[in-house]
Amino acid sequence: MITTGQIKEILDNYRKFDWVLRRVLLTSDLKARLKDDLETIFADGRIIPSNIDAVWFSRVGKNDREAWELRILSENPFALLETFGKSDDEDQRDAVREEMQTRMAEFSSK
């Protein structure tokens, strides 16, 4: 199981490369384990109940695109990346992000 220190390290590594924490997907188990540190660790992100433990980051990409990355919270690094153009509306983006979360859940259940 991932530790508080490992989570902080993941967040710090992303921040170094200008990624911005957007959303935090937490199972009830990890949320309970992090209870005392939850607001401190994830101060910048919106915490969302989930069936997976993962974090969403975004940053400005090349060619007027925005990159979103979903990083699983585990000792083994695994992430999914998608880029969005300025013309992609929020409904399209949400649909893609939902699909990515489904794929991440399938990966993490193996």
Q: pLDDT of the chain along its 110 residues, tens only?
A: 899 999 999 999 999 999 999 999 999 999 999 988 998 999 989 999 999 999 999 999 888 899 999 999 998 889 999 999 989 999 999 999 999 999 999 988 77
Please report, for the chain, the start and end positions of each structural domain, with discontinuous segments joined by +: 4-108
Structure token pair of residue 46 = 């919106």
Give per-residue burial for 32-55: e unless 16+ CB within 10 Å, then b.
Answer: ebbeeebeebbeebeeeebebbbb
